[in-house]
Structures are given as structure tokens and as C-alpha cells.
Amino acid sequence: MWVICNKELVTVVAVGPWLLYQTFRGTPVLPPHPEGTRLLALLILVGLANQVGANLGAQWALGVVGLAVSTPVIFGVMLTASALLGLGFLGERVSRRSILAIGLLLAAIVLLGAATYATCPADTPQATQASGALDSHQAGPMLLALSIGAPCLAGAIYAVLTTTIRHAVTSAVPIGTIVFITTLMGVLSLGPLSAYRLGAQQLLATPPGQIAWMAVAGILNLIAFLAITKGLQLTTVVHANVLNASQVAMAAVAGTLIFAEPRTPWLLAGVGLTILGVVLIDRPEQSDRHVDQHV
């Protein structure tokens, strides 16, 4: 909670004064009432769900089932749910070619997850440490079930978040407003929860080195959030999320280049399918030209 709160605080501190400056200049930061009020309430509710339901659940699941299991679940649910939400609520049609691209991405994510375990035998301390998960003696059936449900919920909420951002950004809500409200919900919810669980004294005792890493993560988070929000302004939810899911392959490649992790067949196949899926995904203008292919 404390890490996420500090990470989101960077965006609040950076974007908040800019929005205040825009307000003093007379530049609207929300559409006129009542549409602006409705969109503001929607962003607050979805932003709160994103911070408490998705981010916390995903982080907690990492300690039980590890990165190799939680990441495929999150992105698999997010890709599938975003296609359904985009079609059902935004009227964004999904072509057969895009469905094929999503299928390839789902297969790639599974393969890349398997690549994490392929580096060392299962049920060994090395495998447990590499994945970040607890072993079978530490996690009971109920805990494992919850740890799979948490990434599923996170993926669904992330899909709702991207759909909401797409709706807001195409309804004349400035990108800065969307980014500010979403991250502000993290500060307002997780800050008090951190103080309640750890106490103010322990929070203030956080080592400066860790605070610095949180600040760096917050800066990168700000850049990434602005980028994905701008992307959702320019393209459909499905198209943006397919490109966003390529980060799984990027992380796998970074592992081989930076940490000298083995280039296993699972990893190479997963990266190859990711590239193929990204290449196959329809561009919005292509989708508009080929109406007969939409389902």
C-alpha cells in the first residue's frame, strides 16, 4: 500500500499544479455540467476500484503464485474483457483479424509465463525464489484459489479502467484530469490504509533509498500513464491493450539481456507470437474499411 501510494503521489504532485494553473486561466478541466459531473463520478469510482481492487490484489497475488502465473491471468482477462467492453459499451467493432491477434497474444502470454519456470526445476527453492511465489506447503488450496481470483479481478478492473478512460478522453475530458483523478484515488485510499496498518512512525522511518526508488517508479508511472491515456484517445481499447500487453515480451527479453536469463524455447516462442499478434492487430482505420469482417 505504501509503495503504491508514493508512486501515485508523484503524478498527483506533478499534474495537480498544472490543472490548477489551467483552472485559473479559465481553461476547463471537465466538460460542462451535467456531463462533466457524471464523468467525474465515474472516474472517481473506477479509479478507486483500480487502486484498491486491482493494484492491491495483483501485488498480493505475486507473493502467493508469483509473476509467471499472475501476469498471464491479468493480461488474459484484460484482453478478453476489454474486447467485450469496447464492443458492448463503446460500440468499437472487433474484426476477425483482431480476434486472431488477441488469441495469439493470449498464447504468447501463457508461453512467456511458462518460460519463468523453465529456467529451473519445479518445486525447488530456486524456482520458488525466481517466480516470487510461495511453495505448496505455504499456500493452501483456499489461498491459491484466492490468489488466482485476485489477478482475474485485477484484469477485469484494468479492462474497465481502459474502457472508462477511452470514453472520458473521447468526451472532451483532458488527459491531465484523467491521470490526476485516477492517481489521486490511490493517495487518498492507500495513504490512510498504510498509516492504519503500519503507523505514522514506521512510515516516516522508510529509508531514503527506498523513497528514492519509489519516486523513480512514480516518474516512470507518470510517463507510462500519460502515454497509454493518449493512446486511448487515438485508438480503440482493443488496439491499445494489445500493444500494452507486449510489455510481457519486453520484460522477458530484458531478463535475457540484463540478468542473463536463459533463452528457452518457451521464451522464444512467446516473443515470436507476441510480435505476430501485434503485427496482425487491425488499425482503427483498417477496421473501418473492412466492415464486412466485423463480428
Give the model confidence (pLDDT) of 49-67 as tens digits: 999 999 998 888 877 777 6
Q: Which residue from 177, 280, 169, 176 is spatially nearest to 234, judged by alpha carbons?
A: 169
Lowest-confidence segment of 15-29, 56-70, 132-146, 263-277 by average pLDDT: 132-146
Say if 294 falls within a structural domain. no
**What's residue 127's pLDDT?**
44
* pTM of the predicted protein model: 0.81
Q: Domain containing 140: what range? A: 2-287
Binning pLDDT at 50, 70 and 90, where does residue 261 land? low
Tell me the torsion sign for CA atoms 112, 113, 115, 119: positive
Q: Which residue from 81, 93, 98 is spatially nearest to 294, judged by alpha carbons?
A: 93
**What's residue 126's pLDDT?**
42
Say if 44 falls within a structural domain. yes
Lowest-confidence segment of 101-110, 183-192, 194-203 by average pLDDT: 101-110
Average pLDDT for residues 252-261, to the nearest whole number?
73
Dist. CA 63–CA 131, nearest whole Å: 9
Helix (H) or strand (E) holding 239: helix 237-245
Binning pLDDT at 50, 70 and 90, where does residue 292 land? very low
Mean pLDDT across the chain: 82
**What's residue 131's pLDDT?**
46
Say if 68 falls within a structural domain. yes
Binning pLDDT at 50, 70 and 90, where does residue 284 land? low
CB 274 within 8 A of CB 249: yes
Cα 34 to chain centroid, rounded: 30
Q: What percent of the chain has pLDDT over 90?
A: 43
Say if 215 falls within a structural domain. yes
Dist. CA 94–CA 132, nearest whole Å: 36
Please count the structural domains in the chain.
1
Q: Which residues contact 109 (CB under 8 A, 6 or more apart)?
A: 71, 72, 75, 76, 245, 248, 270
Q: Which residues contact 41 (CB under 8 A, 6 or more apart)?
A: none
Enter the C-alpha cell of residue 16. Answer: 495537480
Question: What 3-state class would DSSP assign to 95?
Answer: strand
Say if 175 falls within a structural domain. yes
Exposure string for 210-242, b = 16+ CB within 10 A, e = fewer: eeeebeebbeebbeebbebbebbbebbbbbbbb
> According to the per-residue pLDDT averaged within each range, which of 51-55, 61-65, 93-97, 278-282 is highest?
51-55
Tell me the torsion sign for CA atoms 29, 31, 34, 40: negative
Length of the chain: 295
